Amino acid sequence: MLYEDRVTNKCSALLNLILGIRDFYNFSNSDNKKFIETTIGAAIWYLPKNHKILFTGKISKDAILKGERSEDHLYPRKISALELLNISGKMK
C-alpha cells in the first residue's frame, strides 16, 4: 500500500473517531476533556510517518542537554487534538 493511501486511510479513521466523540467531548468535564485530547493526540502520533515529509530534523537545546532524542514537535499533538475537536462541529 502506498504511503498516501495509508495516510488517507488512517486520517479517515481518525476523523470518524473525532466526529463520534465530539458531542460527548463538548459536554464533558475538564478531566474527561483532557483525557480525550491526550487520546486523540496519541492517535495523531500513530499516523503513518514519512520522515522526509514530516520532520525538520531540529531538536531543542533542552533535549540535547538531557541527552534525549525525539521527533520534533513544532505543533504539539495535544494542541492539534484540541483544535480538531473544536472545529469538528463544522465537519460533516
Provide the pLDDT for residue 47: 85
The radius of gyration of the chain's CA atoms, rounded to the nearest angstrom, is 15
Is there a contact between 37 and 78 (Cβ–Cβ < 8 Å)? yes
pTM, full prediction: 0.74
How far is residue 1's CA from residue 23's CA, in Å, rounded to a whole number? Answer: 34
Half-sphere exposure of 13 (CA within 13 A, CB side): 11
How far is residue 78's CA from residue 45's CA, in Å, rounded to a whole number? Answer: 10
pLDDT in tens, 31-82: 999 999 999 999 988 888 776 666 676 777 887 888 877 666 677 888 989 9
pLDDT band at 90 (very low <50, low <70, confident <90, very high): low
